[in-house]
């Protein structure tokens, strides 16, 4: 029993789709043959899309499950050694240098160095900025694609052309009676 990857299955599905597109029914084919061909074409297209979305979702799950150092770190092959400033930025967390003021809640200074004219307004601005930053972080953490769509397809019923309301029919009948009377 051979194991086939999603890429192989996807390639096979696309080949089936191409073969079906090239196998157009003859000009004098019955309506049943044409409808069968179109429905098989759509089902093969949906199958290829389903396989592709599964492949993409598997890759996204693998990327999200990988540790951040594996996805974000550049390869060290042929790379220059990092400078001391780059090592300092990535290696040391921002701890004591980002102290928060107890009066205005801004970072970078203490209460003894605070020169804020209106600490209450500054606290509101800082809280709003923190809320916006938190929302941005949670949106980035959400998956990019929703779950794959179902592999079956139910077409919506065809829409009927709009008909004029019954009052318009009555008006048209009255107009035709009037035209016949005048003629």
Range of the domain at 115: 97-151
Q: What are the distances in angstroms from CA 72 to CA 38, 49, 58, 61, 63?
A: 46, 29, 19, 16, 10
Whether 72 maps to a domain, the answer reads no
Whether 12 maps to a domain, the answer reads yes
Query: In a 3-state reduction of DSSP, which class is residue 107?
Result: strand
Whether 53 maps to a domain, the answer reads yes
Whether 182 maps to a domain, the answer reads no
Name which of 66, 46, 48, 56 is nearest 145 in CA terms. Answer: 56
Task: Give the model's pLDDT for residue 146.
Answer: 61
Confidence band of 1 (pLDDT split at 50, 70, 90): very low
pTM of the model: 0.28
Give the integer Cα–Cα distance in Å for 127 and 135.
12
> In degrees rounded to 5, what are phi and psi of residue 75?
-70, 145
| Overall domain count for the chain | 2
- Both 62 and 1 in one domain: the answer is yes
Mean pLDDT is highest, among 53-67, 135-149, 150-164, for 53-67
- Both 113 and 58 in one domain: the answer is no
Give the Cβ contact number of residue 133 at 10 Å: 10
Whether 3 maps to a domain, the answer reads yes
């Amino acid at each position: 029993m051979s194991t086939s990857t999603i890429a192989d299955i996807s390639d096979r599905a696309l080949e089936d789709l191409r073969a079906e597109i090239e196998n157009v029914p003859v000009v004098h084919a019955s309506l049943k043959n044409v409808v069968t061909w179109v429905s098989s074409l759509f089902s093969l297209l949906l199958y290829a899309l389903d396989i592709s979305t599964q492949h993409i979702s598997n890759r996204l799950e693998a990327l999200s499950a990988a540790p951040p150092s594996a996805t974000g770190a550049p390869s060290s092959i042929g790379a220059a050694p990092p400078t001391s400033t780059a090592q300092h930025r990535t290696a040391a967390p921002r701890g004591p240098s980002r102290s928060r003021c107890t009066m205005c809640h801004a970072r970078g200074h203490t209460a003894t160095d605070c020169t804020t004219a209106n600490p209450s307004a500054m606290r509101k601005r800082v809280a709003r900025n923190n809320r916006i930053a938190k929302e941005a972080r949670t949106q980035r953490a959400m998956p990019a694609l929703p779950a794959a769509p179902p592999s079956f397809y139910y077409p919506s019923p065809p829409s009927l052309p709009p008909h004029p309301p019954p009052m318009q029919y009555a008006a048209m009948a009255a107009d035709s009676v009037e035209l016949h009377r005048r003629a």
